Amino acid sequence: MTDGNKPPLAILQRLDEKIDELSVNMEKMGLAEYIEMLDSPRRLLYINFLMGLARGFGMAIGFTVLAAVVIWILQWLVVLNLPLIGDFIAEIVKLVQMELQVGGPNFVGK
């Protein structure tokens, strides 16, 4: 049972090296921990719940930062007093103020 010029011992040593390499790669992937987590539904639900909280918190912070940057840029554009953009933003501000004073159709405080 030899493979060409290789004696059986060399084939077994190469096979042993490949098995060790496979074992190291599986350990790096965390396959055992993943399978253990799938076997425990409570742990799986808990981890998914925490991941959902983290995503929601991250989105809230991200949208807050994005809105702050947009408002800052709009304020900067108004200060520059550009004819088209400044007039457009001023018109939006007037419409919003008018809706708040009149108590538009979707006004909650009415």
Share of the chain above pLDDT 70, in %: 86
What is the rounded CA–CA span in Å between residue 56 and residue 31? 27
Distinct helix (H) and strand (E) counts, the chain: 4, 0
- Contact criterion met (CB below 8 Å) for 77 and 86: yes
57-73 burial, b at 16+ Cβ within 10 Å, e below that, comes to: eeeeeeeeeeeeeeeee
- Contact criterion met (CB below 8 Å) for 37 and 44: yes
What is the rounded CA–CA span in Å between residue 24 and residue 36? 18
What is the rounded CA–CA span in Å between residue 100 and residue 92? 12
Quote the pLDDT of residue 99. Answer: 80
Quote the pLDDT of residue 33. Answer: 82
Between 105 and 26, residue with greater pLDDT: 26
What is the rounded CA–CA span in Å between residue 84 and residue 101? 26
What would the pLDDT profile of 34-82 be if each residue is shown by its tens digit?
Answer: 888 888 889 889 999 999 999 999 999 999 999 898 888 877 877 777 7
